[in-house]
Amino acid sequence: MTSVLVVDDDFMVARIHRGFVERIEGFEVVGSAQTGEEALALVGSLQPDLVLLDLYLPDAFGLDVVTRLRAAGETCDVLVITAAKEADAVRGAVRQGVVGYLLKPFTFADLEQRLRAYAAERARDLGDDLTQEQIDAAFGGQPVGRGGVALLPKGLSAETAEAVQAALRDATDTLSATECAEAVGISRVSARRYLEHFAASGRADVTLRYGATGRPERRYRRV
């Protein structure tokens, strides 16, 4: 069972996030905090495996909380959940070694995807006497020279991933899965898988565009 601490300054938002987490098998919420100081204290007392961390807290910026956690010797993983879209915030999160960066607002499916990927990574047995490929996988990336494409889930190819990245880079605005599929020459379903992978690994932002009827359209932008 993976223990989770939810940190958000809005009580109702924290309650929603708690409900999302508790719907996912293998995860349990052990506490919630509304400030940076409270988060530090609860990590020390509860020792959670994972912290869902908002960046905009009333007494501290979330990444500063991560710095203090590491200085205190805490080894919990951190998944950032925030409205902060600034590149500096994303780069800072990457430097701090967070396991994911999820933009608000998001759906249950968005969080579930990231938590299940996190659980699978925690459960992976690296063994001993690793190859370079296994070491690269452990660090969540690929060797230099592969175009910056992160280690891909089974069924996704590096070549197509690079083409999707190029489509995101060349887009003058946000890109839908349908538009990406047309630009790359793949199916919409395949395009969506690559785009969601980039979003989960912090390489793309996701926004929702609401129309007159039906579900909102997911739009992607390269970080």
pLDDT tens for 40-76 read 999 999 999 999 999 999 999 999 999 999 999 999 9
Candidates 3.40.50.1980, 3.30.43.10, 1.10.10.10, 3.30.460.10; CATH matching 143-222: 1.10.10.10
**Region of residue 67 (phi > 0: left; psi between -120 and 50: alpha; otherwise: beta):** alpha
**Any bridge partners for residue 204, and if so which?**
222
- What are the C-alpha distances in Å from 179 to residues 174, 187, 218? 10, 10, 11
Instruction: Give per-residue pLDDT as tens, 161-216.
Output: 888 988 998 888 999 999 999 998 899 998 998 898 888 877 888 998 887 666 78
**pLDDT at residue 87, rounded to an integer:** 82
Residue 146 has pLDDT above 50, yes or no: no
Instruction: Give per-residue pLDDT as tens, 83-127.
Output: 988 888 888 888 888 888 898 888 898 899 889 888 877 776 656
Report, as an integer, the average pLDDT of 16-41.
Answer: 96
Q: pTM to 2 decimals?
A: 0.62
Both tokens assigned to 50: 């994972």
**pLDDT at residue 118, rounded to an integer:** 86
Neighbours of 127 (CB within 10 A): 7
Domain spans of the chain, in order of start = 2-122, 143-222
CB hemisphere CA count around 131 (13 angstroms): 3
More confident residue, 68 or 147: 68
**pLDDT at residue 127, rounded to an integer:** 63
**pLDDT at residue 18, rounded to an integer:** 96
Residue 22 has pLDDT above 90, yes or no: yes
- What are the C-alpha distances in Å from 189 to residues 91, 178, 194? 29, 9, 9
Report, as an integer, the average pLDDT of 16-30.
Answer: 95
The mean-pLDDT minimum among 29-38, 117-126, 129-138, 187-196 falls in: 129-138
Assigned CATH class of 2-122: alpha beta
Both tokens assigned to 175: 């890109």
Both tokens assigned to 95: 């430097």
